[in-house]
Copies of this chain bind each other. A is one copy, B any other.
Amino acid sequence: MYPGIGGSEGKLRELRHDPLRRRWVIVSTERSRRPSDYLGGRDREPPLAGECFFCAGHEEETPAELWALRPDGSSPDGPGWQVRVVPNKYPALRRDLRPARRAEGPWDMIEGYGAHEVVVESPDHGADLADAETPAVQRVLFAYRERMRVMYADPAVRYVQVFRNHRVEAGASVRHPHSQLIATPIIPETLEAEYHTTANHYLLKERCLLCDMLAYERAVGRRLVADYGDFVVLAPYASGAPYELLILPALHHSDFTAADDAAMSRLARVLGDTLGRLKRLLSDPPYNYFLHTGPPPGSGPRPGYWEHLPHAFHWHLELVPRLGVWGGFEWGTAIPINQTSPEEAAEQLREGGKENG
């Protein structure tokens, strides 16, 4: 069961900044967990087909839909949809707070303003992007682009993170195929680093760092998984996890939300194909993917490097199987230990997963 939408009364929802570690965290106690909830959670089973609030016929069990691809004339929250976007019922951040900032002793705090939405990718509980036809993948990409455009229209939103968790080991609590978007009132640390680095590279060289990397990888070839001409799939040189992949447009594009329908269609083929390779080679592994995009023109307050990002930043999708867990070394240092070289991973993935296929 998808429990009732809770109000935010008495709950804590804050972004808190640690200057020592230089990171933001979200403290969000909507789901108010006691110690016993964490323990039970270790073995808890997600809802099955038929009991699932994301399945066709259960539309009334989710919050009202925000967007859907559905036949002309059909009603919101009724049947017939192909892709459906609804608010997350336990949002990490929400729009009914003010993005107020204040100091708390040596720390900084922002009220948990933002948005958290779920893209239900199919009415079918057992569907999987790795097996889907290109048009079905394309519809999911349309939903990402559409909701990102809406979220970025809010001047308090500084970043929109699109992501997908596949299987429990990758953080999925629900089996029904879905992706999520979270809009934050800050630029996350990872994006801040990527924006800064690419802007510095551009200022120095008037070239895009990712275009440089891509040219090198095409020349070397060993880490290329597939080259579709307009999109490239590669195993990054400094992969932090086994079979980690990067999907990026071959031509320079900063802003994913500006991509046209033709590009979405091409990306859909590349993404579906790549998920299929991983599924065959690694027997349907847990994975996460997430999109890193430059800011749309006109969005948000602008640090000094902002004006360079359209030339400097190159959007990309990172796709990372979760085949192990981090230990104390990785958490303490942020240095991942990867036991499969990207060269070996690329070779196996180029062969399309023959080993287990």
Residues of A within 8 A of B (CB): 12, 15-36, 38-39, 41-42, 92, 104-107, 159, 161, 163-165, 168-172, 180, 182, 184, 188-191, 193-194, 197-198, 201, 209-210, 212-213, 216-217, 220, 236-240, 242, 281-283, 285, 288-292, 318, 320, 322-342, 344, 348, 355-356
Contacts and interface: CB of A to CB of B under 8 A. Distances in A.
B238 A328 contact: no
Contacts of A281: 35
Nearest to A188: B333
Contacts of A33: 242, 339-340
The count of identical subunits is 2
A332 B334 CA distance: 14
A17 B238 contact: yes
B337 A104 contact: no
Contact of A194 (B21, B171, B336, B356): B21
A288 B327 contact: yes
B213 A336 contact: no
B328 A290 contact: yes
A271 to B, nearest CB: 14
Contacts of A169: 42, 325
Contacts of A292: 332
A165 B327 contact: yes
Contact of A340 (B29, B180, B335): B29
Nearest to A31: B339
Given A170-B325, A197-B19, A239 B27 contact: yes
Contacts of A220: 105
A281 B288 CA distance: 31
